[in-house]
Structure formats: structure tokens, C-alpha cells
Chains A and B, each alone.
Chain A
């Protein structure tokens, strides 16, 4: 049996299009190449 309250927590509000900028800034764009660069940099 589903727990209604718990299931409800899974649903998040949909951001408005005016919040796209914020969403972009919040987006973590770090990838593995960036990590690799960091690792090589630290090694040297």
C-alpha cells in the first residue's frame, strides 16, 4: 500500500520559465574531464 504522504514528497513544484537563469546557475556543470584536469594539476 502506498504511503500517500511519502509519495507526495516526491512531487516537486515545476519551476517557472522566469527561473531558468537560476536553474542554470544552480546546475552543476562539473564533468569528469574537469576532475581529470584537477587531478593532473594537483599531480604536477
Chain B
């Protein structure tokens, strides 16, 4: 071994025979450096890369020429995605031990074409993502970090930064996944563990709040003042209690319930139903009365309108009435009484003026006179033919038109016709009327006596007819 101070090979001497430097401290330092390296190696083997880096740094602090420790530190950095730091350690290692240094293999593999460019590109992207984070552009940062992880899945810091962003946004599950991936590379990284603990804490808090909510839902609460007291719910087995008294209690309760329903609830329900029915009936009656009133009102309206209509229908309007009046006048002039009767029958007298009414009455009087003449001829003919039943209605028409028609003969024949049909009451009536109208005639005197004695003396038909005919001839 060489002296650490003068560099001369002194073998196993504790003190340098040339410079006198005490070698024991140096040995202790080398031993401590070797121990730290061993510790770093063990940690690296269990993927505690952060711990390994710490141990290897300590080893190199004691002995910077510990090539194995430096090479391993470079390898640890490279595994964690820190390419530049890895290259730094390897270059220094190569510088301290240019020959027979295993770092040549690492440097050769890294310096292959395109690899360094790719690693630089990843470093730039990560730095950009970090800048996005500092500008509070978290969405862009997340996208960038996911891209980096996709192309270079060993960059522990990318996972950690992504997890930090996700935790900040409350996306704990995604954060947990990122941290698990980071832990697969560096199992005991302090930042990864701290973030994982944060995620666990959030899960615990969620579970607790969920349990509280579930407990609130499941457990019945009896409010007592401002506080709520949770009452435990007995199970069905506890209620039954295996003794049978529970069943009896249940049956008693059910029986009481039925009785309460029968004596309290059912009558009330029936009463309500009856009230409803009565109300419905009253309402229906009101509606019916209203409908009846409406019907009566409508009927009155219809009646009034029909009356109004009657003035115009069948008898014609004003113009038609005058036309028919002229038509009746013309028919009378031509001697066509039938046509005149038909025309005058459709004239509305109420619509005519005073002159019109005078014409109407004149024509109507003429027509009726003509009609009376014909009716009297027919009635008197029936009387002479002793067809009294036929004669009575015809003579009645004539008498109603003019009781003095044909010097009272129509009236006299009517009285005689009633007498001959043994209707003495009617006969006496018309005899009395005749005697009153013609008191100073012989027929008047006969009529008077007949009216007075009607019922006592009943002269024969033939005598009466002959007497009357004789009197007629004499008059």
C-alpha cells in the first residue's frame, strides 16, 4: 500500500518510514469508504436507489478514488433517469482510473448514435413540464409528463411531479398509480414515500367520512333537544326471545290494531264517504236546477222567437200580404170566389195600413157573405129535406155570421131543426133569440110561445115546416 501523504509503497507499515505519516487513520478512512460502498450496493440491489446514492456519496466523500463506488453511483443516477449526473460520475471515474475501468462499457453504450440526443430531448421536455407547473399551467404540465413517462419510463422525478399535480387536483387514485410506478424504480425515495403517505391519508379520511355517513343512515336517531341519541335496534330474534311471550305480544298488538281500525278508522272513513256522496248529490241537484232554469229560459226564448216567426211564416210578409190582397180583389172582380178565399186567407191583416185593412174587410165581408149565402142555401135545403142533423151545423155557421140572415129564417130553421132533433134546450135558446130579434112578426110570436112552452107542447114536424113556409110566403 502506498503512503497517502508521500505516495511511496510502504507495505503494511502503520507509519510511513519516509515521511512519518500515520497510516492508521488513512486505513480507517478507506475502511469506512468501503463500508459505505457495501451499504450502497446492498441498497441498490433492493432498488433503494436514493438510499444507495446517499451511501455511495458518503463513500466517495471519504475516498474519492473509490472507483467502484463512483461507477455504481453513476449507474444509480442513470437508472433514476439522471443521465447527466451519471455521465459526470463515469467521466470522473474514467479520469481517476483510465485503465481497466469497467466504466468504459457504460460510456460506450451511452455514446451510441442517437441515445444522448434522445436523453437530452427527454430532459428538455421535463424542464418544460416543470416550467408549466411554475406558470400554474397544470393541464399542460400533466400532458407533457405523461408523454415523458411514455417515452422514458425510468425518470422517477417525472412520476413524482405528475403525482404532485394529481394530488393537488384531488385525483388521488391516479396519483397513487404514478407513485407505485415510481416506487418500482426507486422503492424508498423520500419524495415518493411522502406523496404516497399523503394519498393514504386522503383515502383514510374518505373511508372515515363514508363510515360516518353509513352509520348515520343505518342507525336510527331519536332527537332529544339539540342532540341526537342513537337507539340500538333490537333484532327479530331478540324480540321473540325464544319464550313465546313476544309472539303473544305481537298478536295482542295486531288484535288491538284491528279493533282500533274497526271502531275508529272505518266509521270515520264511512262518514267521510257519506259526506262526499251528499256533497256530490247537492252539487248534482244544483247543476240540475241550473240546467232546468236554463231549459225554461231557452224554451221561453224559443216560444218568443216562434211567435215572432209566426208573423212572417204562412201569411207572408208585408209585401206578400198586399200582393195577396190585390189577388183576392181581382178574383172577386172576376167572380172566382174560391180563388179569392184562398188569396185572402194568406193575408196578414195586422201588417196592413188603414186603407189596406178597409179593403181587406170589404173583400173578406163579401167573401163571407158569399160563403154564408151558399151555406144557408145548403142548410135550408137540408132542413126542407128533413135532414136536420146535416142542417144544424150549416145553419149555425150562417147564424154566427149574421143572426138576422135572410130575415131571421136561418135562425128560425136552426131552432126548428133542434126542436125536431129533440134538443129542446137549444131549440128554446134559438126560439127566444128569434122572438127577441123579430118580436112584432107572427113568427116572432110563435117563437116566443114555443120558447116559453118548450117541453109542454111538441108540435109535429110537418105542421111546423108548413107553418113557417106559409109565414115566409106571407112576409
Contact = CB atoms under 8 A, between A and B. Distances in A.
Contact of B64 (A16, A17, A29): A29
Q: Which of A13, A17, A27, A31 has most chain B Cβ within 10 Å?
A: A17
Interface of A: 1-2, 4, 7-8, 10-11, 13-20, 23-24, 27, 29-34, 36-37, 40
B191 to A, nearest CB: 7
Nearest to B29: A32
B84 A14 contact: yes
Contacts of A10: 191
Name the interface size band of chain B: 35 or more
Interface in B55-105: 60-65, 81-85, 87-88, 91-92
Contact of A14 (B5, B60, B116, B123): B123
Contacts of A17: 83-84, 87, 116, 119-120, 123
A4 B120 contact: no
Contacts of A13: 123, 126-127, 130
A10 B16 CA distance: 47
Do most interface residues of chain B lie in helix, strand or loop, or is the interface mixed?
helix
B268 interface: no
Nearest to B21: A40
B85 A11 contact: no
B84 A20 contact: yes
Given A32-B62, A37-B5, A16 B29 contact: no
Contact of A33 (B63, B157, B164): B63
A23 B84 contact: yes
B18 interface: no
A11 to B, nearest CB: 6
A20 B167 CA distance: 34
B87 A14 contact: no
Given A11-B130, A17-B119, A24 B91 contact: yes
Do most interface residues of chain A lie in helix, strand or loop, or is the interface mixed?
helix
8 contacts: A11-B157, A13-B126, A14-B123, A18-B120, A24-B92, A32-B62, A36-B25, A36-B26
Contact of B88 (A7, A16, A18, A27): A27
B29 A7 contact: no
Contacts of B119: 17
B133 interface: yes
B194 to A, nearest CB: 8
A10 B189 CA distance: 13
A20 B62 contact: no
B203 interface: no
B127 A20 contact: no
Contact of B124 (A1, A16, A32): A16
B39 interface: no
B212 to A, nearest CB: 20
A26 B443 CA distance: 177
A13 B198 CA distance: 24
Interface in B35-70: 60-65
Interface string B148-189: 000000010100110010011000000000000000000000
Nearest to B123: A14
Contact of A24 (B88, B160, B168): B88
A4 B85 CA distance: 26
Contacts of A23: 84-85, 87-88
Contacts of A36: 4, 25-26, 29
A2 B167 contact: yes
Contacts of A16: 84, 120, 123-124
B4 A37 contact: yes
Contacts of A40: 5, 21
Closest 8 CB pairs of A and B: A31-B64, A14-B123, A15-B84, A23-B88, A13-B127, A32-B62, A20-B87, A4-B168
Contacts of A2: 164, 167-168, 194-195, 198
B217 interface: no
